[in-house]
Structure 1
Amino acid sequence: FLTPSKDFLTKKNIIYILVGTLIARTVGIGGTLLLNATGVTQTANDEAIGQLFTGENPLLIILLIGIAAPIMEEIVFRGGIVGYLFKDLPVVGIIVSSVLFGLMHSPTNIISFLIYGLIGLTCAIAYFKTRRLEVSIAIHFLNNILPALVLAFGIS
């Protein structure tokens, strides 16, 4: 499951990437709006990332948040958990990987857990349906790259 190639760019996979990205961004934006309605401005994960990377080189921010994190997290959560540990129990693997993905992002309330858990679920289903790690990586990349660019260049 770790041999990337260009042949993953089929029409079906591109549709999964586009729809998955739309779902992930909708969950992220909708979840943030719900958090704002409760008086919380951002998730603890976003706050920690903002503090950690304030003043850092924009290229480093883009490489780590926009590129490295999606690759590493998808290898572990989708490839490792769904594709390897639970390959014979895919529904269990999808649930476990989504829950652990949500918990790994330091939720402090149910809304922040659901934001990350549902994004993880989106990536897990895309991986399971396509059997291509590149598809879930692409969704994760497209979900992360805009916030990474905003953080890197101080755009608000």
Structure 2
Amino acid sequence: MEGQFENNGNLCAPQEDYRKPMRKAYCRVEWKIFLYAVIVAAAQTLYAWALPELFGESVYVAEWFTWGMMIIPMYMIAFPVLYLLIGGKKDRVKIMQHKMKFGQWIVAALMCAGICAVGMVIGTALDTVISLLTRNSSSDAVTLQNLMLNSNPVYRILTVGILAPMVEEMIFRKFIIDRTVKYGEWMAILTSGLMFGLFHGNFSQCFFAAGLGMLFAYIYIRTGRIRYTIFLHMAVNLTTSVGSVGILQWAGYDELLSAEASGNLEAIMGDMLPKLIVLYAWLGLLACLAIAGIVLLIVAFAKKKFFLVKPPKYVAKGGFTAAWINWGMLLFIIYILFAFISNYVGF
């Protein structure tokens, strides 16, 4: 963005037809991310079978068991394997580094809030429609909601607030963009964002995750500093998993729902009123931040503040085909279709 994230000129136009090596570069990253997903699924299956066998079925109700299902397979097994597969400096482009000013951090954070709001509205609406058509609620959404509202904040901070942003930014920003940006910034941003959104496996998270992924990809390309996108990702996750969920727990959200279901809502409203005021004040603050972010995004697009280096003509013409029509992406899409279908229909 001009005056916000300026062009650093890190993309040099190639002097030959790069579509074949472009397809190879994208395919190489995409099939490895597919393999990462398969390893996660296999490790989670093994974890869910092995621990009850070793420690008894009582582990099913232990909170550490549920969080361990995420931490061990995703971050301690699959990610190290992916890191080794991706390799070191081979085929990487070193993106020129630039600092973000304080004002740019504020703008980026507000844009994140706006993207989250719009994406959640779209995703929740689509998720509701599909759930009505299939007569099944999204298993991922229900599980995540129950986990967030009934969990220890220490686990949430460690897993959702710290580990997830670090690993996801390494995979969907650094691993992808370092190896594809030389073939065009827009396609690298699009692929980074869409793969990140689709990887969540449900519509309620897919849209805002894809939007955030593209914004983070743009920031990484303009600054060359992955820690910037990690910090922004942490801020988003901590706001929701710690801030919002913590206030919901403190306000007695579960108790409020139970009272509403039993018809005793008025009986507890007096006792809960101060907490509800705090809750609605928090939600109002988030709404204001989201509106400000949406306005900033509209202005940025209207005034063409987002600057992208255009790829060469011979790359631009077949860029999408090279990036998305290959066997690596085909494997990834097959996995995603399986994840979405099993999430809403089940097998």
Q: Same fold (TM over 0.5)?
A: yes
The answer for the alignment partner of 2:189 in structure 1 is 94
Q: How does 1:1-156 map to 2 (within 5 A)?
A: 10=99, 12-34=100-122, 40=128, 46-83=141-178, 85-89=179-183, 90-108=185-203, 112-149=205-242, 150-152=244-246, 154-155=249-250
What TM-score results when the alignment is normalised by the length of structure 1? 0.75
Gapped regions of structure 1 (runs ≥ 5): 2-7
Aligned partners of 2:101 and 2:200: how far apart in 1?
A: 27
Q: SS at the partner of 2:151?
A: coil
| Offset, 1:94 | 1.4
Letter in 2 for 1:31: G
| Offset, 1:16 | 3.8
| Offset, 1:22 | 1.1
| Offset, 1:76 | 0.6
Aligned partners of 1:39 and 1:106: how far apart in 2?
A: 11
1:56-87 alpha-carbon deviations (Å, 9 max, x no partner): 3211111111111111100111110012x214
1:96-155 alpha-carbon deviations (Å, 9 max, x no partner): 11110110122337xx53321111101100111000001111111111111111335625
Aligned partners of 2:194 and 2:180: how far apart in 1?
A: 14
1:7-40 alpha-carbon deviations (Å, 9 max, x no partner): x894x25444322221111111233344566784
Aligned partners of 2:224 and 2:101: how far apart in 1?
A: 10
CA contact (8 A) 1:62 1:152 kept: no
Aligned partners of 1:127 and 1:113: how far apart in 2?
A: 21
Q: CA RMSD in A?
A: 3.0
CA contact (8 A) 2:197 2:213 kept: yes
Question: Paired residues, what number?
Answer: 144
Report the more deviating stretch, 66-75 or 52-61.
52-61
CA contact (8 A) 1:27 1:115 kept: yes
Structure 1 pair 78–15 and aligned structure 2 pair: CA distance change class (3 A): farther
Q: Structure 1 segments of 4 or more deviating over 4 A?
A: 34-39
Structure 1 pair 26–59 and aligned structure 2 pair: CA distance change class (3 A): same
Gapped regions of structure 2 (runs ≥ 5): 1-87, 89-96, 129-137, 251-278, 280-347
Letter in 2 for 1:116: A
CA contact (8 A) 1:95 1:121 kept: yes
Q: SS at the partner of 1:56?
A: coil
The answer for the alignment partner of 2:283 in structure 1 is none
